[in-house]
Amino acid sequence: MTFTTTKNELQILLSRNEQIWAMKAKIIVAKKDIESINYCETFKSWRKWEVRLPGTGLPGKLVAGSFWTEEGWDFLYLKNPHGLLNPFALNVLVIETKLSKYRRIVISVPKEEAKDVLAWYKS
């Protein structure tokens, strides 16, 4: 997965394998539509319920794709999520938007890449 930024836009480009699991090739979000971007070393902010439409769920290995929640559409790409009753994921970038699809983009990402996206957003 790569993040590409321009002055007004964030592009998230998925690799070929990631596209297969997430059933999505890229996500483009205008900077004006982003409400916040945060990096969480431990992410526990799951929605009450989520319906995967379409995507992949492999317990303990991968959660990827589009999810309908009580708050609208989320896009998740989380590697090695832990737990079933109180799930959490490590090293996650959370992008909150004003859009109906996607209200939230939650992606496992190395801290260095997350810093670059955060710096772009704050500039």
Domain ranges of the chain: 35-122
Q: Which of 48, 49, 94, 89 is nearest to 75 (CA)?
A: 94
Q: Model confidence over 65-74: pLDDT tens digits?
A: 999 988 889 9
pTM, entire model: 0.92
Q: Model confidence over 2-56: pLDDT tens digits?
A: 999 999 999 999 999 999 999 999 999 999 999 999 999 999 987 666 788 888 9
Cβ–Cβ < 8 Å for 56, 78: no
Measured between alpha carbons, how far is 18 from 52 in angstroms, rounded to an integer? 16
pLDDT for residue 103 is more than 70: yes
Q: Which of 57, 55, 41 is nearest to 90 (CA)?
A: 41
Residues in a beta bridge with 66: 75
What is the structure's pLDDT at 48? 67
